[in-house]
Amino acid sequence: MTSSMSRPEMSRGEVSDGDTPSRGVSRRDLFRAGAVGGLGIAIAGSLESIIGPAAFAQSGARGAVGYGAVVADPAGLLALPPGFSYKIVAQAGKTLLETGEPTPSDADGTGCFRGPNGFVLVNNHEIGGGEPYGVPTLEGLTYDPGAHGGTTNIEVDRNGDRVREYVSVAGTHNNCAGGITPWKTWLTCEETEQRKGGAFQKDHGYVFEVDPFDRAANRDPVALKFLGRFAHEAVAVDPETSVIYETEDASGPNGLYFRWVPPRNFRGRKGALRALALSEGGDTAGKLQAMSCYKGSKHIADLSEATQPGTRYKVEWVDVPDRDAATTSVRKQFTADQVTHSRKLEGAWWSDGGAYFVASYARTADGSVNEHDGQVWFYDPRSETVTLKTIFGVNPDPAQDTNYDGPDNITVSPYGGVILAEDGEGVSHLVGVTQQGTPYPMARNELNESEFTGPTFSADGKILFANIQTPGYVFAITGPWRRPGDGGGQH
């Protein structure tokens, strides 16, 4: 895609300066002029330079990369590697909920849970108000009848075939990503700072817990206010301590990375977060803290300061003064030397004893120190450090199918490495990265340039579920899964 327009000021859904999310302009709709850098991905300990799969193929490496080049789809939806296939599990406006309404728009973050006869997907709907199909505000399941986001639960059998879909939480706003808890529930995140007023009967910007199986547990939704009111993107939960790590997608200033430390004697289990929120003093239970990074004695103002995979910073945590942001957005309650900011903090996933989290891109014009088209970080709670695992150089030509940018949602693959949902410019992919650091295409959007969202594997590892947000598809991808090839050579 070509354009004379400059780098976008705000991506789709991003909160700026405490305002409600902008829904009209997508980052992929604009070309970022003047950015410099390489392209592709680098992983700590593997690549000294940043290259894409095309350059890798020309570097003399042997063997297949990933699962091989994706094959064009005759149906014009989803290109996949040889031997892989997909099923449409849900389609906005086409498939129906069990109550008769159409599947809502804008599928986003998704959790997958093993059930007695297959799997249950808890599917976020990032609806801010202008989408054609809202989440029905059903009695007993609605937090605020003036909001039209929420979640639906989709039951599928062991082969990924759709069984039924129904509303699990309604009346929330701009449900973007979230995360799976160790006690097998889903935390759905509102990416907004919307205040009560007009059609909205309540403040928004909270996290809600969704049970994939117990419908009664989802009645009368409760905002987990102790997790803060800000532009939540995703969460990752420590199974040993129940500490919850949270990303914030915001600008003016850029967002923060948070952790919630539960009260003494709190034990994470089904219903425990809800009970805590409803208890006396529940709105401020535990501690909400923002991350502050250091390299020796030097404070790191912004995560974009890191340009080399393997860069490691020591982490300190700073208490949030007013987590409900009564008068001031949470990220504005700190001075620049107190916390570490980052543009576009997005997906999160707990694995390998720590929390992976993603920064989609950074530009000097938005206050970032350096420019990039994506970082993947790993927070280690044992050493209290964050390490840059992956970096995408600035993509000079988003129209090229072999160029990647803008990682968003993330999942760790049971076959090694990670799968990233691309939300950049031009051609859109699910991008895999092997444990050796080699990027590869897992899927390509053949329909349009809409972002991929919600990649997550079934518990048996046989199905990769993923979404194209617009016009709204949920897919079940199957095929000859194995450890993806890294080309078989050193580079």
149-165: per-residue pLDDT in tens?
999 999 999 999 999 99
pTM: 0.90
* Residues pairing with 120 in the sheet: 113, 155
Confidence band, pLDDT 50/70/90 cuts, at residue 32 = very low
Q: What is the pLDDT of residue 129?
A: 87
More confident residue, 208 or 129: 208
CA–CA gap between residue 133 and residue 469 (Å, rounded): 13
Reported confidence tier of residue 6, pLDDT bands at 50, 70, 90: very low
Q: Which two tokens stand for residue 74?
A: 């005759």
**Average pLDDT of span 466-474:** 98
Q: Does the pLDDT of residue 222 top 80, yes or no?
A: yes
Per-residue pLDDT averaged across 100-112, rounded?
Answer: 98
What percent of the chain is predicted at pLDDT more than 70? 86
Residue with tokens 């945590």: 317
For residue 350, pLDDT over 70 is answered with yes
pLDDT above 50: residue 35: no
Distance, CA of 15 to chain centre: 15
Query: What pLDDT is recorded for position 26?
Result: 39
pLDDT score, position 64: 79
Average pLDDT over every residue of 89-99 = 98
Rounded to an integer, what is the distance from CA 489 to the centroid of its chain?
Answer: 32
pLDDT of 15 reads 63
CA–CA separation, 103 and 97 (whole Å): 6
pLDDT of amino acid 63 = 61
Nearest-CA neighbor of 351 among 419, 249, 432, 269? 419
Place of tokens 């410099």: 36
Residues 388-446 pLDDT 10s: 998 999 988 888 888 899 999 999 999 999 999 999 889 999 999 988 878 899 999 99
The greatest distance separating any two alpha carbons of the chain, rounded to the nearest whole angstrom, comes to 64
Does the structure show a pLDDT above 60 at 363?
A: yes
Tokens 């160790």, residue? 182
pLDDT tens digits for range 316-338: 999 999 999 999 999 999 999 99
Please tell me what DSSP assigns to residue 330. Answer: G
Residue bearing the bigger pLDDT, 299 or 491: 299
Higher pLDDT, 481 or 7: 481
Q: To which residue do tokens 């990369």 refer?
A: 65
pLDDT the model gives residue 486: 84
Say yes or no to pLDDT of 208 above 90: yes
* pLDDT tens readout for residues 256-283: 999 999 999 999 999 999 999 999 999 9
The number of helices, as runs of H, and strands, as runs of E, in the chain is: 2, 32
Kindly state the tokens that stand for 342: 């980052």
Q: How far apart are the first and last CA of the chain?
A: 31
Portion of the chain with pLDDT greater than 90, in percent: 80
Q: What is the mean pLDDT of the chain?
A: 88
Question: pLDDT value at position 420?
Answer: 97
Cβ neighbour number for residue 204 with a 10 Å cutoff: 25
Please tell me whether the peptide bond between 212 and the residue prior to it is cis, using omega within 30 degrees of 0: no
Distances from the Cα of 455 to the Cα of 97, 188, 193, 383, 458, angstroms: 22, 15, 26, 29, 10
The pLDDT of residue 14 is: 59
What is the rounded average pLDDT of the residues 208-220? 97
